[in-house]
């Protein structure tokens, strides 16, 4: 019989591990070491520990096909951005990455120039044209690049949070031709709070933190021979840029969303005047061979 004490328990748990895979062993043993160290440091009461288990249980129970509370938890703790940073250390001549977030879902395929605002937001929101190029790190245009875009509406809700919006509203997939050019119509995105009616909201309140994200539009770009790019573009001047609830802002992704008053340009892009005219060239890293 071994005498288990708080001093030898972590080693006894580690001795039991018999993983076939080295990486499994590394993941499990490091997790055990860190959580034992955390508990020794914190010395929670039994009541507090049950509260922690209840928090994680409810986080899981809050997830469904339209809501991902665990991604949100990872995001507000800064863990998603830490994983992002570790996996994208080389900057070179490429667009920087940021969090995917919990609101990406499948979307309709569109033709260049289509309007992704398909509900009342299309009439209420401020018209915007988003355009630019999809390039590789050598500035060569990428043909057949898939541009998956999603954003919130003029009030700050995604379609999957709001039954008043048509399904797959304010999201869409576009494919480039040999020029690498893209353009589409939409509305200017607004700052919005991450969902606070679940366990993550409790955590933010207990931390004394606000839930706001600065206004942004999401992109997930895939092209043959290149590493995929998951990023956002942020609206310059937003009051939440320095305190994003999920730590996703990078300087290079903040853009001037210019208001264009030219009626000639409005006619050219088939939007009402004035409109926000946003131009950005995305650069994807070549896949390592």
Site of interaction with ligand BEZ (CB under 6 A): 72, 75, 99, 101-103, 194, 213, 246
User: Which is closer to ligand BEZ, CB of 102 or CB of 198?
Assistant: 102
Q: Shortest CA distance to 76 belongs to which of 211, 253, 232, 273? A: 211
User: Which is closer to ligand BEZ, CB of 75 or CB of 238?
Assistant: 75
Q: Shortest CA distance to 116 belongs to which of 167, 190, 178? A: 167
Q: What residues contact 21, with CB distance under 8 A and at least 6 apart?
A: none
User: Which is closer to ligand BEZ, CB of 116 or CB of 266?
Assistant: 116
Please report how close the Cβ of residue 194 comes to ligand BEZ at its closest, in angstroms: 4
Please report how close the Cβ of residue 216 comes to ligand BEZ at its closest, in angstroms: 6
Strand ranges (DSSP E) for the chain?
A: 127-136, 146-150, 171-175, 181-187, 192-193, 212-213, 216-222, 229-235, 254-255, 258-260, 275-279, 282-284
> CA-CA distance, 118 to 201, in Å (whole number)?
30
Using alpha carbons only, what angle is made at residue 174 by residues 270 and 170, rounded to the nearest 5 degrees? 70
Please report how close the Cβ of residue 11 comes to ligand BEZ at its closest, in angstroms: 38
Please report how close the Cβ of residue 76 comes to ligand BEZ at its closest, in angstroms: 7
* Sign of CA pseudo-dihedral 240, 192, 229, 255: negative
Compute φ and ψ for 226, nearest 5 degrees.
Answer: -125, 155
User: Which is closer to ligand BEZ, CB of 226 or CB of 232?
Assistant: 232
User: Which is closer to ligand BEZ, CB of 101 or CB of 122?
Assistant: 101
User: Which is closer to ligand BEZ, CB of 17 or CB of 79?
Assistant: 79
Please report how close the Cβ of residue 240 comes to ligand BEZ at its closest, in angstroms: 12
Residue number of the CB closest to ligand BEZ reads 101
User: Which is closer to ligand BEZ, CB of 253 or CB of 266?
Assistant: 253
User: Which is closer to ligand BEZ, CB of 130 or CB of 266?
Assistant: 130
Please report how close the Cβ of residue 65 comes to ligand BEZ at its closest, in angstroms: 16
Please report how close the Cβ of residue 99 comes to ligand BEZ at its closest, in angstroms: 5
> CA-CA distance, 200 to 85, in Å (whole number)?
23
> CA-CA distance, 87 to 98, in Å (whole number)?
11
Rg of the chain, C-alpha, whole Å: 23
Q: Shortest CA distance to 102 belongs to which of 77, 147, 151, 66? A: 66
Please report how close the Cβ of residue 218 comes to ligand BEZ at its closest, in angstroms: 6
């Amino acid at each position: 019989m071994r005498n288990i004490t708080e001093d030898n328990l972590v080693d006894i748990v580690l001795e039991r591990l018999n993983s076939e895979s080295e990486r499994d062993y590394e993941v499990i043993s490091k997790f055990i070491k860190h959580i034992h160290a955390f508990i020794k440091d914190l010395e929670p009461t039994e009541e507090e520990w049950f509260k922690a288990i209840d928090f994680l249980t409810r986080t899981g129970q809050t997830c469904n096909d339209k809501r991902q509370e665990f991604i949100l938890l990872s995001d507000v703790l800064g863990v998603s951005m830490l994983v992002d940073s570790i996996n994208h250390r080389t900057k070179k001549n490429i667009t920087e990455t940021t969090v995917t977030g919990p609101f990406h879902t499948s979307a309709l395929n569109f033709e260049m120039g289509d309007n992704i605002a398909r509900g009342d937001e299309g009439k209420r929101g401020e018209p915007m044209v988003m355009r630019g190029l999809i390039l590789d790190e050598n500035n060569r245009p990428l043909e057949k690049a898939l541009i998956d875009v999603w954003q919130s509406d003029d009030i700050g809700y995604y379609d999957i949070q709001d039954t008043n919006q048509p399904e797959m509203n304010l999201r869409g997939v576009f494919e480039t031709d040999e020029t690498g050019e893209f353009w589409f119509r939409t509305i200017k995105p607004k700052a919005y709070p991450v969902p606070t009616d679940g366990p993550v909201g409790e955590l933010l309140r207990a931390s004394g933190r606000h839930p706001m994200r600065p206004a942004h539009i999401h992109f997930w770009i895939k092209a043959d021979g290149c590493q995929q790019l998951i990023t956002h573009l942020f609206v310059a001047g937003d009051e939440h840029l320095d305190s994003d609830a999920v730590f996703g802002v990078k300087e290079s992704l903040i853009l001037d969303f210019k208001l264009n008053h030219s009626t000639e340009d409005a006619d050219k892009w088939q939007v009402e005047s004035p409109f926000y005219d946003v131009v950005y060239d995305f650069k994807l890293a070549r896949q390592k061979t």
